[in-house]
Amino acid sequence: MKVIHWSIIMMGFNSLSNAQQSTLLYKLRLTNSLEISRDLQSIEIPSKKIKFLSGKNFKITETITKKEIPYQWLSNGDLLIQEDFKSKEIKNIEFYEGSIKPLDTKVYGRFVPERLGDFAWENDKIAFRMYGKELEKVPEQNGWGMDAWAKRTDRMVINEWYKLNNYHQDNGDGLDFFQVGSTLGAGDILPFINDHFVYLGNYTSYKIIEDGPLRMTFELTYSQVKKDGYNISLTKRISLDAGSQLNKSVVTYQFSGKPSLPVFAGIVHWNGKGQKISDQNNHLAAYWPENSKNGIVGTAILFPDTNDHIVDKNQHLGSEIILKSNQSVTFYSGAVWDKAGKITSSQDWQKYLQEFALQLKYPIQVSK
């Protein structure tokens, strides 16, 4: 009787366990159409496919390996996931009821009032900042464009570096030695009138749109100013994904006074020694400077879905673009540090950028 008793109990446990197994909610197929591998590929699943999951606790797993896939809801209702793919690989993923396991922080950003109104942001590869209005009161320090901080750690370091206030020295995790000054830095945009940059001042307000764990998105607003017969204001929406060396910038100018506005989006090269890359086929520009005691920070800017030529003007590589009021321009820009150990030459950098452009052109296909 005792044996029968325990068998019945075990059968009950098994039945209970089976009953408590997660319920399958949905399945999708992901297809890499390219003959290259794609590491930490960001995939935006349209809201129309998964809106029924909104408000539900669920996890996503790869069908064969059962590996859990991280995700993030986006402000537009789409679902962002990241996954690795081999050449021409097809993966099936499954959505189950249940709680997602905690994710390590891979993106971060914030307003920095203690440093003259910087806005700084980072991921597990690199860090950046834009300068605030307060810096204009310190003319000898004022800068325009995007600054890049060199990192060789996947930790989030912004708060630590600002607190220690010694980020111009390498503390083992990296440092800030990239020179911006009165330039577009590691990828920015300004009106370009009569072959001259027209500085409009630094940003006056910010809004955080998405705050991780896979994507950091924020918006910077620049107040209206009068310049060269224009009344001009603008907004910049900047996004940085985990694992990426490049930001996505969507910039919208509002202006009156004239029917169109010439702008220039690009990166500075200072006429320095190093390799300047103008890749017209992929609509990208890159700069790999000569070595220094702190290593090399390579920079790049990439224009998707455009026929604008890459040009070299005023110590910058980039594109001249003519805009109408409220017309947006989109570009990807960023940087890499050779001492991080992943991309260590101009050839590596160019390969990364060309594959980045290819992946934008041929995103992972999402189907049922």
Instruction: Verify that 178 and 79 share a domain, yes or no.
Output: no
On whether both 85 and 114 belong to a single domain, the answer is no
Note whether 183 and 323 are same-domain residues. Answer: yes
CATH number at residue 296: 2.70.98
Instruction: Provide the mean pLDDT of the chain.
Output: 92
Digit-coded pLDDT (tens) for 215-236: 999 999 999 999 999 999 999 9
Under the banding of pLDDT at 50, 70 and 90, the label for residue 336 is: very high
Q: Are residues 90 and 154 in the same domain?
A: no
Residues 90 and 128 in one domain: no
- 283 and 159, same structural domain? yes
What is the rounded average pLDDT of the residues 189-207?
Answer: 96
In a domain, 15, yes or no: no
Read off the pLDDT of each residue in 8-36 and give the average, rounded to a whole number: 69
Its domain, for residue 292, covers 107-361
Q: Is the pLDDT of residue 325 over 50?
A: yes
Q: What percent of the chain has pLDDT over 90?
A: 86
Cα-Cα-Cα-Cα dihedral sign, residues 43, 46, 51, 55: positive
Q: Which of 103, 133, 154 is the last residue of a domain?
A: 103
pLDDT at 142: 80
Q: Pick the last residue of a domain from 38, 68, 103.
A: 103
Assess whether pLDDT exceeds 60 at residue 122: yes
**Tokens of residue 55, six digits:** 């408000």
Q: Please state the rounded mean pLDDT for residues 307-321.
A: 95
Confidence of residue 21 (pLDDT cuts 50, 70, 90): low
Instruction: Tell whether 83 and 133 lie within a shared domain.
Output: no
Query: d(Cα 49, Cα 342) in Å, to the nearest integer?
Result: 36
Residue 11 has pLDDT above 70, yes or no: no
Number of domains in the chain: 2
Quick check: 15 pLDDT over 50? Answer: no
167 in a structural domain: yes
Mean pLDDT of 48-68: 93
Average pLDDT over residues 306-335: 96
Q: Is residue 9 part of a domain?
A: no
Strands 58-62 and 90-97: antiparallel
Model confidence at 159, pLDDT cuts 50, 70, 90, reads: very high
Q: Choose the final residue of a domain: 69, 103, 137.
A: 103
| Same structural domain, 174 and 309 | yes
**Residues 136, 195 share a domain:** yes
pTM, to two decimals: 0.93
Q: How much is the pLDDT for 357? A: 97
* 113 belongs to a structural domain: yes
pLDDT tier at 352 (50, 70, 90 boundaries)? very high
Distance in angstroms (rounded) separating the CA atoms of residues 198 and 252: 16
More confident of the two residues 38 and 1 = 38
Q: Are residues 203 and 323 in the same domain?
A: yes
Indicate whether 98 and 137 sit together in one domain. Answer: no
